[in-house]
Amino acid sequence: MNTRVLLNLGLLALVLVLVAVVVLSPEENAVEVEKLTQLQIDAVERLEITRQGQGELSFEKVDGNWYMQSPYQIQANRFRIEALLGLVTTPSHTHYNLKGKDLASYGLEPPGASVNINDAITIEFGSSEPLHQRRYVRIGDTLHLIEDLYYFQLGMTPVGFVSNALLAPDATPTVIRLPALTLRKQGDSWVLDPAQDDVSSDRIYQLVQEWRNAQAIRVEPYTEGQTEGEIIIETAEGTPVHFAIRHADDGIILARADKQLQYLLSGEIARRLMELPPPVEDTPADEPETPPETDAGAMPAVPPPTAEPATAQ
């Protein structure tokens, strides 16, 4: 084996060793992006939001579900809260010590909004920087630059943070009183009160499920209006839910005076919540016609020959 071949083999072996080192060794030089806080999202139990010129919002997690504590006491919009919780783990692209700095130059005197987490960490929102349009936020004496994903969420109206669900996720209905009928839970089943023999349990159960899953098109602050009926949902938790029924130009409103909120439903959703679903007709599928049975060994019947027309003479 000549010198050139040995040299090439040696170079090949060196390349393979270098590749193995790069692939198998840990990336010691990789830069880990610092997070805005050391909190994990699951550890967040309380949120308080303060907006300049607007009222405060407060939320608390109870048994895994988020509830607004003020200005309304109602279940919170889970998707809005979860989107906002991303703030605690969002990357901090850079940070500075604020001691001796002019807070007004960062839009922090006063801050446009602030979020207090677990009564322990307060994140104040300032202006955005012009180069990358990132947002200045302050935690204590430290200024951070983060992606501008959260500031405009904080400016939402209070009803924007309210769940569109008509019933709380932990509510256990026991009686549903509608304008034209009443559903009552008996043991593990639901029945009509008074009973109707021609109504199947499947139809009753389907109406109950409609209520458990009902979502409004939007939630609005409560306003006075002419009531055209009432719906009462009694629950195992002991506090009945009262909805006043009103007509609107774009649907039906179910108003809760006790919560100072009202829920707009489409006409179709409202109908499904107030009426039993139509019965399902048991219509058998069309079956192909079958020929009449014959004896297994018999020859098929042959029709008699038809008379031929007479030949013209």
pLDDT of residue 33: 76
SS (H, E, C) the chain: CCHHHHHHHHHHHHHHHHHHHHHHCCCCCCCCCCECCCCCHHHCCEEEEEECCCCCEEEEEECCEEEEEECCCEEECHHHHHHHHHHHHCECCEEEECCCCCHHHHCECCECEEEEECCCEEEEEEEECCCCCCEEEEECCEEEEECCCCHHHHCCCHHHHECCECCCCCCCEEEEECCCCEEEEECCEEEECCCCCCCCHHHHHHHHHHHHHCECCEEEECCCCCCCCEEEEEECCCCCEEEEEEEECCEEEEEECCCCEEEEECHHHHHHHHCCCCCCCCCCCCCCCCCCCCCCCCCCCCCCCCCCCCCCC
pLDDT of residue 28: 44
pLDDT of residue 194: 85
Token couple for 277: 């679903």
pLDDT mean across residues, the chain: 85
pLDDT digits 0-9 by tens, 156-189: 999 999 999 999 988 999 999 999 999 999 999 9
How far is it, in rounded angstroms, from Cα 5 to Cα 165? 76
pLDDT of residue 198: 86
pLDDT digits 0-9 by tens, 193-234: 888 888 999 999 999 999 999 999 999 999 999 999 999 999
Token couple for 181: 């009928």
Average pLDDT over residues 121-132: 95
Average pLDDT over residues 141-156: 96
pLDDT digits 0-9 by tens, 64-99: 999 999 999 999 999 999 999 999 999 999 999 999
For the chain, the structural domain boundaries read 41-161, 173-274
pLDDT of residue 205: 94
